[in-house]
Amino acid sequence: MLQPLAAAAGLLVIAAILWDTFETIVLPRRVTRRVRVTRLFYIWTWAPVAGLARRVPPGKKRDRYLAFYGPLSLLLLLFVWAVALLIAFGLVQWGAATLLHVPEDGAHGLWTYVYMSGVIIFTLGFGDVYPLDTVGRFLAVVEAGTGFGFLAAVIGYLPVLYQSFSRREVSISMLDARAGTPPTAAELLRRHTEAGRLDAVEELLKDWEHWAADLMESHLSYPVLCYYRSQHDNQSWLASLVCVLDTCALVMVGVDGANAWQARLTFAMARHALVDISQIFGTRPVAFERERMTNEELAALRTVLKGWGLNLRAGADADDRLRSLRRLYEPYANGLSCHLLIPLPPWLPDHARADNWQTSAFDRRSLAVVTPAASVEEEHRS
| Residue with more model confidence, 359 or 162 | 162
DSSP-derived letter for residue 59 is T
Is 376 a residue whose pLDDT tops 50?
Answer: no
Cα–Cα distance measured from residue 248 to residue 342, given in angstroms and rounded to the nearest whole number? 21
User: In angstroms, what CA-CA distances link 223 with 77, 204, 228, 277?
Assistant: 13, 26, 10, 8
Strand partners, 380: none
Mean pLDDT of 373-379: 40
Is 375 a residue whose pLDDT tops 60?
Answer: no
Q: Tell me the pLDDT band of 364, cut-offs 50, 70 and 90.
A: low
| Residue with more model confidence, 148 or 34 | 148
Maximum average pLDDT range among 24-28, 59-63, 151-155, 324-328? 324-328
Q: What is the pLDDT of residue 265?
A: 97
Segments making up each domain of the chain, as ranges: 2-155, 181-362
Mean pLDDT of 329-339: 95
Amino acid making up residue 238: L
The percentage of the chain sitting over the pLDDT mark of 90, rounded to a whole number, equals 61
- Classified as helix, coil or strand, 312 is strand
Best CA proximity match to 234, nearest among 122, 358, 332 = 358
Q: What is the pLDDT of residue 30?
A: 80
Q: Report residue 22 CA to chain centroid gap.
A: 20
Is 380 a residue whose pLDDT tops 70?
Answer: no
Best CA proximity match to 177, nearest among 301, 365, 358, 327 = 358
Is 231 a residue whose pLDDT tops 90?
Answer: no
> Where are the strands (E) in the chain, listed by range?
100-101, 130-131
Is 371 a residue whose pLDDT tops 70?
Answer: no
Q: What is the pLDDT of residue 65?
A: 94
Q: Tell me the pLDDT band of 106, cut-offs 50, 70 and 90.
A: low
Q: What is the pLDDT of residue 211?
A: 97
Amino acid making up residue 33: R
Is 66 a residue whose pLDDT tops 80?
Answer: yes
pTM of the model: 0.87
Q: Tell me the pLDDT band of 372, cut-offs 50, 70 and 90.
A: very low
Amino acid making up residue 239: A
The percentage of the chain sitting over the pLDDT mark of 70, rounded to a whole number, equals 93
> Where are the strands (E) in 38-178, listed by range?
100-101, 130-131
